[in-house]
Amino acid sequence: MNPFLFLFPFLFLAHESVSQQTYSGNHILECNNSNTTELTSEFLYTCNGIQSCSSFLIFRTQPLYNKVFTISKLMSTDPTNVARINGITDSAENLPLNKELIIPVTCSCSGKYYRANTSFVIPINTNYFTIANFTFQGLTTCDSLQKNNIYKENDLQVGGKIRVPLRCACPTVNQTMSGIRFLLTYLITWEDSIKKISKRFDVKFQDLVLENGFSSVKDLIFPFTTLLVPLSTEPLSSQTRTPNRNRNQNQNRNPKLSKKGIIIGTISGGFLAILSGVFVICLVSKRKRANKGKIVKWELPKDIQLGIASVDQVLKIYKFEELDEATDGFTLEKRLSASVYKGSIKGRKVAIKQTGTHANKEVKILQKINHFNLIGLYGVCEHDKSCYLVYEFMENGSLNEWLQDLRCQESQTWNNRLRIALDVAKGLQYLHNFVNPTYVHKDINTSNILLTKDLRAKISKFGLAKSIEKGKNVNSSVKCRFESKGYLAPEYLEAGFVTTKTDVYAFGVVLLELITGKKAVYENDDDGGQVMLCEEVISIMGDGNNAKSTVNYIIDPRLKARHSLGFVIDQDELALRLVKLSIGCLESEPSKRLSMNEIVSTLMIIHMDAQSSDTLFLV
């Protein structure tokens, strides 16, 4: 039997539910479906369940990625969670190669497809095919990389940063009702079969088959592809595989091992090794054919090598003529604000910001950070004593504009506002916990939070950001703009002290804006004076004894959904949990405020509860 193919010897039984996703087969390895407009799991898993959820991936250790820390950075996930779920005490420990690790991620629907977002700094001599199938082991696809990035398939810029959507999915409503809480994206190997996988993860064989859309005994599975494993609880480290280094030694010590077994094992192993080699040769040949005829015009500069070695993003240096062409000569029609222009470079929309000579700090910071919820900086340009920064383009503008647009229907759902809050929290969590040194943004407000076309939030404007040592206060002489006063923590206003809790306070105000639809500082209609939103909410909520009855006065009227029969749906419980969370961020004493880790965990629970309860119709 060809070891590439694994035949399913089973009888299919009738089942009322529709499968979660359709198994993609080995077409997932190809790079020719990026222009299709049809929904296909060969691209990523399609959105057919709840909008956002906790999910899990299986990743196997490999050279360069054999530590919890490096793998977590590759996947843009929390190393403490990776270590916890895999039972690993030392995140810097070298793990055996080809050891399976469970990777917890947040899976969200973006457009038509689910994805867990990460990014990757492009090394020398590679393309989308090798990144998808070697570095990420099939957890992303060549097609999805092409569609989500500015670079063409065989024209990757060394040191550039690309977006990597990882394959994941969320349970459907029917699955949730049947007790399925998580879907694990499993990487199929040579020795796998559906029966082995179902036994290892304690999942019914029939359920695993049906949830991946198999329809007949002729269906095949292939190595380097993925399938979804439905789980009622988190996967266990005991369900993963670790290569047995001493297997051969143990076999030699076994006197009962027959010569026939040794011969069969040797032949089978050799045959698999040959086929593995053939597969690798095919992949390499594919890459060589793709690069055939290309002329290498440059050698890798030493500064770029240094940038890759230090895991800093090496930015593209644009010529002014490129930016001038991208913006049609910086015309008024392309202007988004006083100094920002909309442009198009190689078919990809970008935002080009003209600054003075003071942009070095922001560029330096954005080179060091790498997270989906932080604005992406593509490159820079210096021309005529001005600096131009080329950012990813955010179609829905700022959160402030989005909230104040009374005609916007998308702003009238709890789901969108919850997801935005979670995105901002994750961006701050990354700055506070996973960057060395730690960064405090210092200027978190709705004008500096930008939204993609899919309403995913990203933090921008790092000009005031400050690096600090964890656990220490840093006295800052930088003063924020007056418009940001509503976001400034008491200790900063009084003494200029800055810690990560400074951002927590500002996030609490942003969360209140998402709940109420009001600005951080707004005009009182009665007397024309200014009102501080945080002070107003704390005053209304009082001591909390009548919180449930008073929270209704705070909720943005646009969020008060009506049933088809006409009555207003009670959402006070959801709003109350969010208001309490925001108040936990607004404590006057920094040490009493929540941490960003606590905020992210709480928001994820609230978001999942909102989607799996009667509020599903709000999605």
- Which amino acid is residue 16, in one-letter code? E
Measuring CA to CA, which residue among 190, 188, 191 is closest to residue 208? 188
Asked whether 607 and 52 are in contact (CB, 8 A), the reply is yes
What is the C-alpha to C-alpha distance for residues 430 and 76, in angstroms, rounded to an integer? Answer: 9
**Residue 58: in which H helix or E strand, if any?**
strand 52-60
Active site residue 443: yes
289: Cβ contacts below 8 Å, ≥ 6 apart: none
DSSP class of residue 95 equals P
d(CA 313, CA 479): 29
DSSP state of 135: I
Residue 458, H or E segment: strand 457-459
From the number of C-beta atoms within 10 Å of its C-beta (0-12, 13-18, 19+), residue 146 rates as buried
Catalytic pick from 78, 143, 443, 503? 443
* Residue burial 222-240, b: 16+ Cβ < 10 Å; e: rest: bbbbbbbbbbeeebeeebb
Phi, then psi, of 139 in degrees rounded to 5: -75, -10
Q: Cis ω on the peptide bond leading into residue 437 (within 30° of 0)?
A: yes
Nearest to 503 by CA among 601, 599, 408, 387: 599
**Residue 384 and residue 274: Cα distance in Å, rounded?**
60
Q: CA-CA distance, 308 to 461, in Å (whole number)?
A: 24
Give me the active site residues, please: 443
